[in-house]
Amino acid sequence: MKQFILLLFLLVSYGCFSQNEQENYQKVVSEFQTSYNSSQDENVYALFDSSLKAFLSLEQTSELLDTVRSNFGRMKKMEFWTIHNSAHVYRTTFEKGVCDLFFTLNEKNLISGFFIPKNNTENTSRFARNVTNMIFPFKEEAFVFWGGETVEANYHMADINQQYAYDILMVANGAPYKGDPSKNKSYFIFGKDIIAPCDAKVVQVIKGIKDNLPGVLNTTDITGNTLVLETAQKEYLLFAHLKANSIRVQEGDKVKQGQVIAQCGNSGNTSQAHLHLQLQNTPDIFNTIGTKLYFEELIRNGQIKKQYMPVKEDFIKNTSKITH
Ligand SMILES: [Zn+2]
């Protein structure tokens, strides 16, 4: 699946184990704030490292900052909030709202990544992983195409909205389809039932989107037919690319663990049938933080795993104990 969001966030891998603000960040972030407020975008740009500059020109940086200025106004206060995946998070009070801004610095104290959400994030809950026990949303064995905590294993890690997401396929003899790959029905996972991982409330339904022909992307309706479930703990599960006309629930419905809620499809910005599944800390898929999704008990490559977060190339299946 393609990335959703307007500003980039580049993850860096050097360690940072403290939850306290580092002094070097304080200085850079304060310069960032001053330059942003005085519209001296070339000074903001001067804080970027070469990889970020390669990604973003000065003109593009100016455009992005202008968008933020017109949406939110000046930054009145930037308060260190937490450290998230090596990034320093600053809860920033703008004239027109409150946002959490993410920064990473390289070893020369230049900005190697930053992220500014499109909307306010004040009062978003923060959790490191799900506390609600989950079963895997398929009855059959499935294959993890993208999953895990590194960009190599899981390209979703490059985008904070989607980090820790899974792209799920079903595979036999090393291939996700049998027969003609230009037909959706050739893909093993296409049309398979998706079951609710836990008791939950349906908080968003997007439907009415056709399945793509394999290889033809719908770049308008990014997530395609979509469901978002809310757990009792206000954790949000997003299911994207669902099959046209397969969603069996409506907004406001309560669903039970194991209940069939939809079928896997090929709608939205996707090249072939798969399930994009993620846990997030708000209902809004375009303004959220992707979070680790563990399953209570799975059979992984033939072995039982408890409280497991699948990774790329795992074959996984619910245990018979919790399969409904
Ligand atoms: Zn995906």
Look at residue 176 and tell me whether its pLDDT is greater than 80: yes
Q: CA 62 to CA 67: how far, in whole Å?
A: 9
Distance 299 CA to ligand 1 centre (A): 22
CATH fit for domain 23-115, picks 3.10.450.50, 3.40.630.30, 3.40.190.10, 3.40.1790.10: 3.10.450.50
Q: Measure 67 CA to ligand 1 centroid, in angstroms.
A: 27
Q: Measuring CA to CA, which residue among 240, 236, 239, 237 is closest to residue 224? A: 240
| CA 266 – ligand 1 centroid, Å | 12
Going by C-alpha positions, the residue among 254, 274, 258 that lies closest to residue 322 is 258
Domain ranges of the chain: 23-115, 142-318
- How remote is the CA of residue 240 from the centroid of ligand 1, in Å? 8
The Å distance, Cα 322 to ligand 1 centre, comes to 26
Quote the longest CA-to-CA distance of the chain.
61
Of the pLDDT bands very low, low, confident and very high (cuts 50, 70, 90), residue 22 is confident
- pLDDT tens, position by position, 131-154: 899 999 999 999 999 999 988 899
Query: Distance from the CA of 91 to the center of ligand 1, in angstroms?
Result: 28
Q: Is 201 helix (H, G, I), strand (E, B) or coil?
A: strand
CA of 45 to the centre of ligand 1 (A): 31
Determine the Cα–Cα distance for residues 184 and 154; give it in Å rounded to an integer: 24
What CA–CA distance (Å, rounded) separates 147 from 153?
6
Distance of CA 252 from the midpoint of ligand 1 (Å):
25
Is pTM, for the whole model, over 0.85? no
pLDDT tens by residue, 232-286: 988 999 999 999 999 999 999 999 999 999 999 999 999 999 999 999 988 988 8
Check residue 321 and give its pLDDT: 65
**What spacing in Å lies between the alpha carbon of 13 and ligand 1's midpoint?**
22
Report how far ligand 1's centroid is from the alpha carbon of 6 (Å): 17
> How do strand 315-318 and strand 295-300 relate by DSSP bridges?
antiparallel
Mean residue pLDDT of the chain comes to: 87
> Quick one: 142-318 is in which CATH superfamily?
Glucose Permease (Domain IIA) (2.70.70.10)
Ligand 1 centre and the CA of 231: distance in Å?
A: 21
pLDDT band at 28 (very low <50, low <70, confident <90, very high): very high
DSSP letters of 118-185? SS--TT----SB--S----S-SS-EEEEE-SSSTTT-GGGGSTTTTT-EEEE--BTTBSB-S-TTSGG
Which H or E element spans position 82? strand 75-84
CA of 100 to the centre of ligand 1 (A): 24
State what percent of residues in the chain have pLDDT above 90.
Answer: 62
pLDDT at 122: 45
Q: What is the 3-state secondary structure (H, E, C) of 275-305?
A: EEEEEECCCCCCCCCEEECCEEEEEECCEEE
- Ligand 1 centroid to 151 CA: how many Å? 13
